[in-house]
Amino acid sequence: MRQHRATLAYALATYSFVLPAFAFKELEYAEWEVFFLTSLPFVGRLFGSLETRRLVSKLGTVWTYRVSLAGLAGSSMISSSFTQFGEQLAIRLLVGVLFGIMTSLAVYEAMEGRSQKGGVMFSGWALGWSLAGTTYLLAGSWSATMLIGGLVILSLPLFRGENRELEVIQVTSVSSKGILVFLLSFVPSFTLSVAPYFLEINGLPWVWIIPSYAMAIPSYYLLPVLADKIGFHRTLMLTVLVAVMSGTLFFQKLFFMLMPFTFFGLGLNSLAPKIALRYGVDSRNSGVAVNTAGLGGLMYSMFPSMMGFDGLSDIMDASLASLLILSSKRVKTKVS
C-alpha cells in the first residue's frame, strides 16, 4: 500500500514539476528566462525536503500529501493566467518546495524498513513525464495545458490510509558519498531532459519522448527482479553498459537508440537505493539525499550549450563508470 502510494506521489509531483517545461515555448520568454524557470524548482525542492519532517509531524502522512497536491494543482491552474516572468518565478519556486515535500515523504515510505526495492518508487518520474507530455500534446496551448494539469491532479482520488504523524522521522546526517550515488544514478535522467530539444534540432518531433518514457516504466520493476535472479552487480553492470552504449549512439544521431537508452538509463534509479544503503542512506535521510542530488539537474541542462552533445555523452559515461566504482567498494555499513 505504502509503496504504491509513494509511487503515485512521485508521479504526480513529477507531473506538476515538468508540465510547464513542455509549454514554456508558447510564451514569449527569452531563452535564458525559459532555462531559469525550468530549473528554478531544483532549488525549491531542497528546501521542501528539509521541511518535510516538521510538516508530517503536525499533519500526518495523508494530510501532508493532500495539502501538497492541492498546492500543486492550484499552482498549475493559477499559472494559466499569471504568465509574467516575475509571477512565474514565485509559482515555480513554490512548485519546487512542494515537489521536495512530496518526494521526500514518498522516498521515506518507499525505503522504510531499509527496503532494497525502494527504487521502484522512482518509476513515478517516467510516469509523470509521460503524462505531462501527453497533456501538452492534447491541450496544445499554455493556458489549456496548465488548466488541464491542475484538473488532472484534482480529479484523482485523495490519498487514503493510516495518517501517521511519524514523529520518528528524524533527519540524520547523510554522507557525501550517499548523495553522490544518487547524483550519478540520476545522470541519465538529466541527460534525457535535453532529448526533446535534441530531437527537434535534428528535424524530428519531440513527441518521440512520450512512448520512450512510457516504455521505461516497467524497467523499475524488472531490473530489481533481474538482480534477484542473476545477482545485483551483474544487473548493474548490464544496465550501465546498455545505458552508456545506447545513450552515446543516440547522440550520434542513431535515434532509434532512444528506447533502450530511456529503458536502462531511467531504470538505473531502481538499483541506486541498494548502493546508497552501503553509505548510510536510509529512510531517515533519503529524502534529503535524493533532493540534494537533484540539484545536479540545475547545472546539467547547461552542458549542451557549453560543450555540445558529444561532451554531454562523455560526462554521462564518466559518471556511470564512477557509479560502478562506488558500487564495488566494500564498506562497513550493514545492509539488511
Which pLDDT belongs to residue 265?
Answer: 96
Compute the distance between CA of residue 248 and CA of residue 316 in angstroms, rounded to an integer. 9
- AA letter at 264: F
pLDDT band at 325 (very low <50, low <70, confident <90, very high): very high
pLDDT of 2 above 90:
no
Asked whether the predicted pLDDT for residue 336 surpasses 50, the reply is no
Residues near 121 by beta carbon (within 8 Å), at least 6 away in sequence: 3, 6, 7, 10, 106, 107, 109, 110
Superfamily of domain 2-328: MFS general substrate transporter like domains (1.20.1250.20)
Note the helical H segments in 80-175. Answer: 85-111, 123-139, 142-155
pLDDT at 87 over 90: yes
Across the chain, what does the average pLDDT equal?
Answer: 86
pLDDT at 116: 52
Task: State the Cα–Cα distance between residues 214 and 129, nearest whole angstrom.
Answer: 8
Q: Which of the four pLDDT bands, split at 50, 70 and 90, describes residue 334?
A: very low
Q: Structural domain boundaries of the chain?
A: 2-328
Q: Using CB atoms within 10 A of its CB, is residue 59 exposed (0-12), middle (13-18) or buried (19+)? A: middle
In this prediction, residue 335 carries a pLDDT of: 43
127-158 tens-digit pLDDT: 999 999 999 999 989 999 999 999 998 877 65
Residue 210 has pLDDT above 90, yes or no: yes
For 61, the grid coordinates are 502522512
Q: Mean pLDDT, to the nearest integer, of 202-229?
A: 94
Kindly report, residue by residue over 298-308, the tens digit of the pLDDT: 777 667 667 77
Query: Could you report the per-residue pLDDT of 175-202, keeping only the tens digit for each?
Result: 889 899 999 999 999 889 888 888 988 9
Confidence of residue 30 (pLDDT cuts 50, 70, 90): confident
pLDDT of residue 279: 86
Q: Please state the separation of Cα 265 from the chain's center in Å.
A: 12
pLDDT at residue number 323: 93
**Local confidence band at 1 (pLDDT 50, 70, 90 cut-offs):** low
Rounded (10°) angle between helices 41-59 and 61-79: 140
Instruction: Report the C-alpha gap between 235 and 329 in whole angstroms.
Output: 16
Burial 64-101 (b: 16+ CB within 10 A, else e): bbbebbebbbbbbbbbbeebeeeebeebbbbbbbbbbb
* pLDDT above 50 for 333: no
Residue 236 has a pLDDT of 96
